[in-house]
C-alpha cells in the first residue's frame, strides 16, 4: 500500500498518468484547462450513477468554463467501459484498481457498510486550475446539487 497524501489547496495538484476509457491520460495532458477530478465509490450504484449523470448533464457548461471532467474509481476498465457506454459519457473514467490515484489524492477511508468496517473511496471532487494548482476540494460530499456547485467554482477560475 502506498502512502496516502493529502493534496493542499494553493499547491500543485498531484500529477498522475492513468488508464481510462479514453486511453492513457495524465494531468500534464490537461495543462491550459481546468480539471474537475471526481472520485466515486462504484460503477452502477445509485449515488454514483446520479453523480456521474449530473456531471454529464453539465459537461458542455464545464467545457465553456474551460474545464475537463474526469471521473475515477477502483473499478476495472471493463466495468468503466460498460458504465460509460450505458450512460453515454462524454468524459473519461479512470480505472484505479491499484489505488495509486486514490492514495495520491487521499480519498481512501474506513467506512461503515451494513454494520461492517470496510475500506473504500470517500466521494470527493478536486478542482484544479489551468496551471495545475489545486483550487478547491470537496470531501464526503452529498450528490444532490454537487455538480452545480462545482460548476459555479469552475466558472470563477476564468
Residue 141 counted as domain residue = yes
Closest by Cα among 95, 55, 56, 98 to 79 = 95
User: Can you name the residues that pair with 109 across neighbouring β-strands?
Assistant: 120
What digits encode the pLDDT tens for the residues 118-133?
889 999 999 999 999 9
Does the residue 5 lie in any domain?
no
Which positions ≥6 away from 152 have C-beta within 8 Å? none
Q: Residue 82 falls within a domain, yes or no?
A: yes
Does residue 56 form part of some domain? yes
CATH code of 86's domain:
3.40.30.10
pLDDT at 14 over 90: yes
Kindly list the strands in the beta sheet with 67-73, ordered across the sheet, starting from the edge strand earlier in the chain.
23-26, 17-20, 93-95, 67-73, 34-39, 124-128, 134-139
Q: Which domain holds residue 45?
A: 17-155
Q: Active site residue: 30, 48, 67, 102, which one?
A: 48
pTM of the model: 0.94
Q: 85 pLDDT band (50/70/90 cuts)?
A: very high
The yes-or-no answer on residue 30 being catalytic is no
- How, if at all, do strands 34-39 and 17-20 pair? unpaired
138 in any annotated domain: yes
Asked whether residue 107 is assigned to any structural domain, the reply reads yes
pLDDT at 2: 44
Q: Is 4 inside a domain boundary?
A: no
In a domain, 105, yes or no: yes
* Domain total in the chain: 1
Amino acid at each position: 500500500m502506498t502512502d496516502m497524501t493529502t493534496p493542499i489547496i494553493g499547491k500543485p495538484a498531484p500529477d498522475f498518468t492513468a488508464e481510462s476509457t479514453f486511453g492513457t491520460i495524465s494531468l500534464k495532458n490537461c495543462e491550459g484547462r481546468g480539471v474537475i477530478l471526481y472520485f466515486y465509490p462504484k460503477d452502477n450504484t445509485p449515488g454514483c450513477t446520479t453523480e456521474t449523470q449530473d456531471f454529464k448533464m453539465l459537461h458542455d457548461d464545464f467545457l465553456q468554463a474551460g474545464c475537463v471532467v474526469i471521473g475515477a474509481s477502483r473499478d476495472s476498465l471493463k466495468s468503466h467501459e460498460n458504465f460509460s457506454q450505458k450512460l453515454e459519457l462524454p468524459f473519461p473514467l479512470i480505472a484505479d484498481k491499484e489505488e495509486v490515484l486514490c492514495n495520491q489524492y487521499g480519498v481512501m477511508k474506513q467506512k461503515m457498510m451494513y454494520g461492517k468496517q470496510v475500506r473504500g473511496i470517500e466521494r470527493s471532487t478536486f478542482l484544479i486550475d489551468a496551471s495545475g494548482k489545486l483550487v478547491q476540494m470537496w470531501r464526503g460530499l452529498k450528490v444532490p446539487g454537487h455538480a452545480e456547485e462545482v460548476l459555479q467554482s469552475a466558472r470563477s477560475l476564468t
